[in-house]
A and B are shown apart, each in its own frame.
Chain A
Amino acid sequence: MRLELVDIEKSFGEKRVLKGISLTAEGGRAFGLLGRNGAGKTTTLRILMGVISSDAGKVLFDGRPEGLSSERFGYLPEERGLYPKKKIFDQLVYFATLKGMRTREAEKAVDYWLGRLGMSEYKNKRLDTLSKGNQQKIQLITALAHDPEIVILDEPFSGLDPVNARLLKDVVRQTIARGKIVLFSSHQMNYIEEFCDEIAILNGGKIVLSGGLDAIKRSYPRNRLAVRSLEGERIAADFGPACERISENELLLTLPDPGKKAETMKMLSEKYDIDGVSVSEPSLNDIFVQYAGGQE
């Protein structure tokens, strides 16, 4: 299963919102779409789902350009909201049937998911009687009940307590394991790092960075060592400006030549009392700030 966006262009009036977006997401993997507010994430997702049309470019599913019918994807919008005054079960079944399910199938699926997320007791309650976190779990069911091939989750973890966040993580892992495409859009980099194999960073309507997360991290020069030691002060004094003190016992050494890593590590462990030393990789947070920081 393969979803591709090819050279998507979109303008609203005079404003060019998307300037040639291309990305590829594969089944059984999670894809992270990152970008600051207003970078064009929601517009990209809406074009992908066929809510608005693009000015140029195409959306391909398994190489075919027929467009994505609504049964094939599930969507958890960032702006949550269902019918506040309606019974939870009724509206979940309604949304599932809108996504192409038969009523009986939909009822079964909704029952399964209510049970899976521990919400069965609220089945016949009105939505507005639930807490925000529980409403979010109900909303998640609208994205999953019809068993779509592509699951689009926009800020799925915001507003969830740690217990519910773990529940959602399990659901996401299971979905990925079943070979679905999971498309994340989030500002919470730790979750993206945890799940996504591939990312794309949007800035000013363009993709400024994309690819496998490991490869991206590896593309950075591996010339920094993270050192933990009780002799932080002495090391800092010896290394001078090449050493950055993160905390009292944690230091970051930048080497002039990445090839000298092993040599330096050996030297450190001989010369000082070292608790640990490793090659420092940039965090996704660092990468995001670097690429999405300056709005174009």
Chain B
Amino acid sequence: MKAFRKILKFELKNYLTNKVYLVLTVLLVLLIAVVMFFPRIAGAFKGGEENPTDWENLPVMLLVGEENWEETTRPMLVDSFAAAFPEYRIVPLADLEKAKETLLAGEAECAVALESPESYTYYVNNLSLYDSNIEFVDAVLSQLTRVSAMITAGMTPEEAEEALVGRVVTGNTVSLGKNQAENFFYTYIMIFALYMVIILYGQMVATGVATEKSSRAMELLITSAGTNSLMFGKVIAACLAGLIQIVAVFGSALLFYRLNLSAWGDNFLVQSIFAMPVNLFLYMLVFFVLGFFIYAFLYGAVGSMASRLEDINTSSTPITMLFIIGFFVVVFSMTSGDTESLLLKVCSFIPFTSPMAMFTRIAMSTVPWVEIALSILILLASVIGVGVVSAKIYRVGVLLYGTPPKLGKMLRAVLRTK
């Protein structure tokens, strides 16, 4: 136990004084700081007030061929466009060819050329993937056609406008379980953090063990401390280093968010991320720790079988693949919105996929507590089982040099040890 504490301390110190670890953590915190302070910084540059000259700087949308539109609503065209596209300056233009030249010269961003009351053409210099202007143009023009029809039927323009715009029915959604729209983002972030940390630190455990073997420091270590102390010390140190990094990153994110609460105002995305319930964060910690252990033990065992660092890549591939498959199942279920699919349900009880799968289900749907308890129990039992087997593999593996043994041969050797 004493040796275990010493090893844990030594290994943890290695992580905390490791330049890569420190730089990565600081960079992540800085990145988050930049993101979280962005509205405030951007606000400072803007000077905070709407400037009349701003309007001059807005991108230009050309409106061509007003004369082709119905007479009744022709005077409303420019105003309607201006209302629908506040991010543009609407400039009417008579000549289509001139409009195209202006577009190509980069002096305007897009142009709407009206051809008849039923059709128009949208011109743009480069069509962006996210250009949704055409849908708004459709909406504006359809509205105007309706107004025209009403005026023709005898209504005044004001009455027509009142009939179309003034009466609005508003509805509210109440989700009695989970609201996937709200918790999608933080679940995604958590799953991604889980994925990155487990893969990163798992590999570090494997590399650490293999380095000790290849540098032959292992010869001395195994005569100084028990293999269990060596393996568990290393794995738990990596787990703590990962936890510290998670807490530093998420903690600073929360802190910076609090500092900039007013600047973020009503940004739905950011609000939804920070609206994560505390109990979910606790679940995240539970699944992180258990999921981390099950993979780190496997990585440790793999590291112990390698004689050289190069061997690790090939021998750890199956573990990494298993983990990536779990990750993809979860991400696909999340993006499809079907978090109660049979596949995800099954995955949430398989120990190697349950840390991510069950966490996703808890975050995005309502899972009976019996299922959660069962999943955690299976995972816990598996962690202990995998830990015991890995420690045995480790004990045999650290003394073996040469080509890494085949799995079957290794398992037979492990079974022989008492």
Q: How far, in whole Å, are A293 and B40 apart by their CA atoms in the complex?
A: 83
- By beta carbon, the residue of chain B nearest A96 is B224
Segment of A78-86, A184-192, A241-249, A271-279 engaged in the interface with chain B = A78-86
**A70 B225 Cβ-Cβ under 8 A:** yes
**A81 B217 Cβ-Cβ under 8 A:** yes
- Interfacial chain B residues near A80, Cβ < 8 Å: 216
* A53 part of interface (Cβ distance < 8 Å): yes
**B223 A95 Cβ-Cβ under 8 A:** no
A229 → B minimal CB distance (Å): 51
| A-B interface pairs (CB < 8 A), number | 53
- Interfacial chain B residues near A70, Cβ < 8 Å: 3, 223-225
B7, B219, B418: the one within 8 Å of A77 (CB):
B219
Q: How far, in whole Å, are A95 and B215 apart by their CA atoms in the complex?
A: 15
- Interfacial chain B residues near A142, Cβ < 8 Å: 220
- Interfacial chain B residues near A51, Cβ < 8 Å: 222-223, 399
A18 → B minimal CB distance (Å): 15
A52, A84, A99, A139: the one within 8 Å of B224 (CB):
A99
Q: How far, in whole Å, are A52 and B418 apart by their CA atoms in the complex?
A: 10
- Interfacial chain A residues near B416, Cβ < 8 Å: 13
**B399 A82 Cβ-Cβ under 8 A:** no
**B3 A98 Cβ-Cβ under 8 A:** yes
* A97 part of interface (Cβ distance < 8 Å): yes
- Interfacial chain B residues near A97, Cβ < 8 Å: 6
In terms of DSSP, what is the predominant structure of the interface of chain A? loop
- By beta carbon, the residue of chain B nearest A93 is B10
A279 → B minimal CB distance (Å): 43
* A75 part of interface (Cβ distance < 8 Å): yes
- Interfacial chain A residues near B224, Cβ < 8 Å: 70, 95, 98-99
Chain B: interface residue total (CB-CB under 8 A): 21
* B406 part of interface (Cβ distance < 8 Å): no
Q: How far, in whole Å, are A53 and B226 apart by their CA atoms in the complex?
A: 12
Known pairs A13-B416, A52-B399, A94-B6; A82 contacts B217 (CB<8 A): yes
- By beta carbon, the residue of chain B nearest A75 is B223
- Interfacial chain A residues near B413, Cβ < 8 Å: 13
Within 8 A of A (CB), among B190-243: 212, 215-225
* B167 part of interface (Cβ distance < 8 Å): no
B3, B6, B217, B220: the one within 8 Å of A75 (CB):
B220
* A182 part of interface (Cβ distance < 8 Å): no
Q: How far, in whole Å, are A45 and B7 apart by their CA atoms in the complex?
A: 24
- By beta carbon, the residue of chain A nearest B219 is A77
A52, A79, A94, A100: the one within 8 Å of B219 (CB):
A79
- Interfacial chain A residues near B46, Cβ < 8 Å: none
Q: How far, in whole Å, are A52 and B417 apart by their CA atoms in the complex?
A: 9
**A81 B216 Cβ-Cβ under 8 A:** yes
**A49 B223 Cβ-Cβ under 8 A:** yes
A13, A81, A100, A139: the one within 8 Å of B2 (CB):
A100
Within 8 A of B (CB), among A50-108: 51-53, 70, 73, 75, 77, 79-84, 94-95, 97-100
**A98 B217 Cβ-Cβ under 8 A:** no
**A77 B216 Cβ-Cβ under 8 A:** yes
- A140-173 CB mask vs B (1 if < 8 Å, else 0) is 0010000000000000000000000000000000
Q: How far, in whole Å, are A73 and B217 apart by their CA atoms in the complex?
A: 17
Q: How far, in whole Å, are A188 and B399 apart by their CA atoms in the complex?
A: 25
B227 → A minimal CB distance (Å): 9
- By beta carbon, the residue of chain B nearest A86 is B14
**A81 B219 Cβ-Cβ under 8 A:** yes
- Interfacial chain B residues near A52, Cβ < 8 Å: 399
B71 → A minimal CB distance (Å): 83
**A83 B399 Cβ-Cβ under 8 A:** no
Q: How far, in whole Å, are A98 and B413 apart by their CA atoms in the complex?
A: 28
A53, A84, A94: the one within 8 Å of B10 (CB):
A94
- By beta carbon, the residue of chain A nearest B398 is A51
Q: How far, in whole Å, are A100 and B221 apart by their CA atoms in the complex?
A: 13
A53, A77, A100: the one within 8 Å of B220 (CB):
A77
**A95 B220 Cβ-Cβ under 8 A:** yes
- B403-418 CB mask vs A (1 if < 8 Å, else 0) is 0000000000100101
**A98 B219 Cβ-Cβ under 8 A:** no
- By beta carbon, the residue of chain A nearest B396 is A52
Q: How far, in whole Å, are A82 and B217 apart by their CA atoms in the complex?
A: 4
- Interfacial chain B residues near A53, Cβ < 8 Å: 418
- By beta carbon, the residue of chain B nearest A45 is B223
- A selection of 15 A-B contacts at a CB cut-off of 8 Å is A13-B413, A13-B416, A51-B223, A52-B399, A70-B3, A73-B223, A77-B216, A79-B216, A79-B219, A81-B216, A81-B218, A81-B220, A82-B220, A97-B6, A98-B3
Q: Which residues of A contact B (CB under 8 A)?
A: 13, 46, 49, 51-53, 70, 73, 75, 77, 79-84, 94-95, 97-100, 139, 142
Q: A46-B399, A51-B222 are in contact. List 5 more A-B contacts (CB 8 A).
A: A70-B223, A75-B223, A77-B219, A99-B224, A142-B220
